[in-house]
Amino acid sequence: MGEHFSKTAALIWSVADLLRGDFKQSQYGRIILPFTLLRRLECVLEPTKDDVIAKYETIKAMPHEAQEKILAVSAKQSFYNTSKMDLTKLGETSVAQNLESYVQSFSSNAREIFEHFDFFNTIDKLSEADLLYKVAKRFATTDLHPEVIDNYHMGLTFEELIRRFAESSNETAGEHFTPRDIVRLTTSLVFCHDDDLLTKQGLVRSIYDPTAGTGGFLSSGMEYVHELNDKAALSAFGQELNPESYAICKADMLIKGQKVDNIKLGNTLSDDHLPADKFDYMLSNPPFGVDWKKVQKKINDEHKFKGFKGRFGAGLPRVSDGSLLFLMHLVSKMRPKHEGGSRIGIILNGSPLFTGGAGSGESEIRRYLLEHDLVEAIIALPTDMFYNTGIATYVWILTNSKPEGREKQVQLINASVDDKEAPDNNFYVAMRKSLGSKRRELPESKIDEIVKLYGQFEQAKNSKIFNYQEFGYRRITVERPLQLAFDVTEDKLHAYLSDHHEKLKKKAPELSLEEVKESHPPSGYQTLQRLIGQPIIMSRNEFLAQFNEKLSAAEVKTLCKYFGEHNDEAEICYVESGKNKGQPEPNPDLRDNENVPLTESVQSYFEREVLPHVPNAWIDESKRDEKDGEVGIVGYEIPFNRHFYEYKPPRKLEEIDKDLDIVSGEIMQLLQEVHS
């Protein structure tokens, strides 16, 4: 049967021979996919076609909703068609009108798919190219009856056609198609812990993809379960923003016998069409680095007004990258642990690992995920794995029901190895022909190797295991005292006078600098003139004592700004009023932050790492974490590459000199050839 489905796919795609010249290669799929769906649906409906037509004649006057329910029963399917027409009866004239009428006669759930394929426009284009009859006739002779090819293998056939469409679309494919090898790896990682469970008879489970694309993840999940247990029922749910991808996904699900009403069209982040549903398995490849400005108000409102009763209670990432919003959306769809829990596989770029410091939205989301023990593993993939980008990518595996021994642990697997000297160590193989930005792929043997590393859950060269707290830290604020030395010079006094002049010009623009100096000088101007050339004053109090007039706090601040400079030998300035009276006054220019690992005492770290270098420093204990009230703001980041970094010493100078000599010799030889 496996050989049969691949032959069937090749036979169907051969229709491209008719299209060549009149249509671009990237357009073939938009013709072949809906025609394949149309032929499959009419083959499935053939046994009950006469019954449906007869029943339709008797209930024409009934409301449409009632008709749909009755006719679906007559068709013994979730869809039906009330036309007497099929692909063999289109005739040789008025083919376009007959075909459009035929498609319009489908039930709304099937007809909608053709509408989103823009199939009626395709019919017109084929008719204009005088190809419609030939294409329709070719599909009419393709046997896609369920007795010949069952739902499962018809699904595989359709997936193969989708893959060919993706490859022919090349650079634009990555927006809607996830490469098959990545899909297979992610699916295997998500399902592998449940292999024993999935072999049980009568099993019913659900799978969900909020960025369904053409349905690759949903299909792969169903295939994985079918390989283990062909009696298991896996219900597919999804939502997709792009109408054409939505049509392909829905067509694929219809062909597989799924309830297509579970596939929704729309923006998952701003308009979740499955708000109350929870799922057993979730898989997603959301767009990398795409901003969410268009839906910002809705998401901000949900975060603000619903909190953890909504999807985004943990926090919001920066508006320039919505990847973590999709992740939090999936987490909100998890079944409670007492109901069996859920497993998630999501593909993200590198920024969700580390973007955003302590207290930021990204850090708070990581904090929520790690402190709730949801992150099970993160796998780094090789670069150049996707159709539309060559950047580094990662597969995150999450669950709220970790197996025994994995509690509070996070496994990092480095499958991004790129060893030019020993290519057998790499997890990828180079493709003979690149597809857009995709130049590498994961062979089945390497997928198995990655899944084995994950399943073994052991420390190894490419597998590291950490307690989640090892990714956390407290950002403490380190203060140093204000120590000012005062040196009055002509240049500083001129700058002080000019600043005062600019302020007066706002009210009296006619005043010149000389007039200001004579009749409206700044505070202490005469005293400052007297101090020019005097020894540096190493105390703020001593400097201010030079002035006879009473100075306001603002005037003191301005004088310190223009004439004071930090000097470690100067006297420490103390706070003169308020709750901190008598305490050293901090110098904002010397303020610094330190990230203290969560696994270490803040005070011990401070005494070891800070005080030996700046003995008069102290921790600002007013900066406390909102959640636990402790000193320091808690942050989380996952510095993946740091944990797998291997130092490679530079080449010896002798080797470099030898190579340079060879290159120099080659250059000299070329120059001699030119001159001769």
Q: What is the 3-state secondary structure (H, E, C) of 587-629?
A: CHHHCEEEEEECCCCHHHHHHHHCCCCCCCCEECCCCECCCCC
Query: Does the pLDDT value for residue 168 go beyond 90?
Result: no
Number of residues written out for the chain: 676
Q: Are 573 and 484 in contact (CB under 8 A)?
A: yes
Six token digits for residue 80? 């039906």
Q: List the beta bridge partners of residue 413.
A: 379, 463
- What average pLDDT does this structure show over 568-595? 94
Amino acid making up residue 6 = S
Query: Does the pLDDT value for residue 325 go beyond 90?
Result: yes
Of 135-139, 204-208, 401-405, 642-646, which gets the smallest average pLDDT?
A: 642-646
Query: Does the pLDDT value for residue 30 go beyond 80?
Result: yes
Q: How far apart are CA 520 and CA 457, in angstroms?
A: 77
Q: Is the dihedral of CA 142, 146, 148, 151 positive or negative?
A: positive
What is the per-residue pLDDT for 73?
94
Q: How far apart are CA 593 and CA 480, in angstroms?
A: 11
Three-state SS at 670: helix
Q: Is the dihedral of CA 637, 641, 643, 647 positive or negative?
A: negative
Q: How far apart are CA 51 and CA 597, in angstroms?
A: 72
Q: Is 436 left (phi over 0), alpha (psi -120 to 50) or beta?
A: left
For residue range 524-550, list pLDDT tens digits in order.
999 999 999 999 999 999 999 999 889
For residue range 445-491, list pLDDT tens digits in order.
999 999 999 999 999 999 999 999 999 999 999 999 999 999 999 99
- Which residues, 6 or more positions from 56, have their beta carbon under 8 angstroms from its beta carbon? 67, 71, 82
Residue among 118, 108, 112, 119 nearest 82 (CA): 108
For residue range 95-143, list pLDDT tens digits in order.
999 999 999 999 999 999 999 999 999 999 999 999 999 999 999 999 9
Query: Does the pLDDT value for residue 170 go beyond 60?
Result: no
The Cα-based distances of 476 to 367, 461, 471, 591, 593 in angstroms read 17, 34, 16, 11, 6
Q: How confident is the model at residue 676 (pLDDT cuts 50, 70, 90)?
A: low
- Note the helical H segments in 473-622: 490-505, 513-519, 525-531, 540-544, 553-563, 602-609
440 or 651: which leads in pLDDT: 440
What is the per-residue pLDDT for 18?
94
Q: Are 351 and 637 in contact (CB under 8 A)?
A: no
DSSP 316: -
What is the per-residue pLDDT for 259?
87
Q: How confident is the model at residue 3 (pLDDT cuts 50, 70, 90)?
A: low
What is the per-residue pLDDT for 2?
47
What is the per-residue pLDDT for 159?
84
DSSP 536: P
Q: How far apart are CA 212 and CA 209, in angstroms?
A: 5
Q: Are 497 and 513 in contact (CB under 8 A)?
A: yes
Q: How far apart are CA 346 and CA 498, in angstroms?
A: 60
What is the per-residue pLDDT for 114?
96
Q: What is the mean pLDDT of the chain?
A: 92
Q: Is the pTM of this model over 0.85?
A: yes
Q: How far apart are CA 50 and CA 35, in angstroms?
A: 22
What is the per-residue pLDDT for 4?
64
What is the per-residue pLDDT for 203?
82
Pairing verdict, β 281-284 and 204-209? parallel
What is the per-residue pLDDT for 618?
97
Q: How confident is the model at residue 397 (pLDDT cuts 50, 70, 90)?
A: very high
Q: How confident is the model at residue 1 (pLDDT cuts 50, 70, 90)?
A: very low
What is the per-residue pLDDT for 26?
85
388 or 348: which leads in pLDDT: 348
Three-state SS at 30: helix
What is the per-residue pLDDT for 423?
87
**Residue 551 φ then ψ, to 5°:** -105, 140
Query: Does the pLDDT value for residue 171 go beyond 60?
Result: no
